[in-house]
Chains A and B, each alone.
Chain A
């Protein structure tokens, strides 16, 4: 992946974009939808178990300069990762990547938020979704190049646990005063430090400090990164 590609993925005449899904019919449909865009779509059907790194290596080996991935990949492909993690790791490896899912609302607080820190854009599949893809890819390319919009920048801020959910995907409800003090946000329990992932009700009231993009407009955009227990004031609090 060259730096130039990362800066502006659509500047090329017809950038090669990998499109990953685990269902053939969905992949064909997505290819059709994206066919109107000035992209060369390189479909990649995941049929069998394989590692995330091997998928990324293959995408890069094909000469793709960007990635669009479905989120729910585990069912048909029986891989050990979701599209959200694939997109996260791709962006981490400087391959601009966008998550493209029909189940955004179902997964955004759990398996998507788990990886949201490096998912610049999540595009909901639908009749008009294709219109959002170019801007999403541009945003991803900008982030890969180190340019995050204010709404995507994480700032250290207090995160307070107000409820714990043990059933299904373990989650906690939190409030972020610096975002919207009265709005409860659900995050995966695994976003908390490893020492605090017991899903015990004793977590309620605990304040953590971590990076949150509190300039984001919507709850769906929020990420929670590097949370750790908020410290008590130090002994030398009153000294310079």
Chain B
């Protein structure tokens, strides 16, 4: 790092020999930093500024891999601003092609990648699938690609044909299972949809993980019943913690029926939304200072929109630790949130139509 940038907080943490996964509160979108010392793998990049701050604070100077799970803006927008920043060494950017995608952001990102590759700033891999073995891994952060398959990326996104299935942009999401110091710590499924989940379940690859970052920010997974999707997913992943990486915006995520299913079929599982869902607390957010939050960058710090905020997962003494600590988070919820969906005593609103 050449200097502390104006407009950002100065570095608050020094580089330590830490292996951790940080799920940044980026609002509606995804961004996870999987760190091993001063190197990291980034999965999706909704926001660049929070990510930039996180990397500075963590003393990370090398982005070994940037994986863009799929081509939607809430997963790639920050990459347009992060990639040209020469403050970081960048190894490989991994993407899948998407013939359905006609967005300016995606098109321009491809042009930028081409130029940065030409300049020798980074490498590109177009075509990431479950035959990747452990190519994305760092020493203590092992990353397995569970989805899509080689056949999926061979077909590409598009409507069903004579032999090919329909594959949506969301269904093409790269699904990663992350092991921290040997512990199955995270499942990062991007915006995995019901059809892709069904296909994954037909393959007998291990999906278990301590923390499930719920697909599509807790929004719709397709046209089918969301409780069924949540049930199948949780049965496969067996999570102890379900994180919804969502924003307190117009989408009103997570869907109440998804939360209800997690509560009923996975009793004791912790539900942690990065931001305070309007389904739990309509109107103005609580003004009380959220002392439970980690001192990490979080989009919800502006306007008191955080619930769990940014979430950190580490392996400590042979077990996985998920922060903010559940007792602190729950205390804040009980004191300040009107109708928390994660609280079993609260009656949940009915299903929402797609």
Contacts and interface: CB of A to CB of B under 8 A. Distances in A.
B84 A158 contact: no
B265 interface: no
B8 A150 contact: yes
Contacts of B118: 231, 234
Given A237-B114, A238-B124, A238-B126, A214 B81 contact: yes
Interface stretch (B102-110, B175-183, B225-233, B315-323): B102-110
A149 B5 contact: yes
- B92, B111, B118, B126 interface centre (most CB from chain A within 10 Å): B111
Interface string B319-346: 0000000000000000000000000000
Interface in A146-197: 147, 149-151, 155-158, 160, 175, 177-178, 181
B115 A231 contact: yes
A157 B7 contact: no
B108 A158 contact: yes
A32 B287 CA distance: 49
Interface in B13-52: 49
B6 interface: yes
A214 B110 CA distance: 18
Contacts of A207: 107-108, 111
A240 B84 contact: no
Contacts of B108: 158, 160, 177, 207, 230
Contact of A237 (B5, B104, B126): B126
B112 interface: yes
A156 B107 CA distance: 15
Interface string B95-131: 0000000001101101111111110000111110000
Given A214-B81, A238-B126, A158 B5 contact: no
B85 A155 contact: yes
B63 to A, nearest CB: 15
B258 to A, nearest CB: 31
Interface residues on A, range: 20 to 34
A215 interface: yes
Interface in A12-29: none
Interface residues of B, number: 29
Interface string A92-107: 0000000000000000
Contacts of A238: 124-127
B114 A232 contact: yes
A207 B107 CA distance: 10
Contacts of A214: 81
Nearest to A179: B81
A233 B5 contact: no
Contacts, number: 73
A209 interface: yes
Contacts of A231: 111, 114-115, 118
A240 B49 CA distance: 28
Contacts of A232: 114
Interface in A196-240: 207, 209, 214-215, 230-234, 237-238, 240
B117 A234 contact: yes
Interface in B199-240: none
A104 B127 CA distance: 49
Contact of B104 (A150, A155, A160, A233): A160
A199 to B, nearest CB: 23
Nearest to B124: A237
A155 B111 contact: no
B284 interface: no
B105 A177 contact: yes
B7 A215 contact: yes
A81 B160 CA distance: 63
A1 B80 CA distance: 38
A158 B127 CA distance: 23
B123 A209 contact: no
A45 B114 CA distance: 50
Given A233-B110, A237-B126, A238-B124, A209 B115 contact: yes
Contact of B80 (A149, A150, A151, A157): A157
Contacts of A178: 80-81
Contacts of B80: 157-158, 177-178
A151 B118 CA distance: 26
B116 A151 contact: no
Nearest to B85: A155
A140 to B, nearest CB: 15
A233 B123 contact: no
Contact of A155 (B8, B81, B105, B123): B81
A156 B119 CA distance: 11
Interface of B: 3, 5-8, 49, 80-81, 84-85, 92, 104-105, 107-108, 110-118, 123-127
Rank and list the top 4 A-B pairs by shortest CB-CB distance, nearest first. Answer: A150-B5, A158-B108, A156-B84, A149-B6
Given A149-B7, A240-B92, 8 more contacts: A150-B5, A150-B7, A157-B81, A177-B105, A181-B105, A230-B108, A230-B111, A233-B110
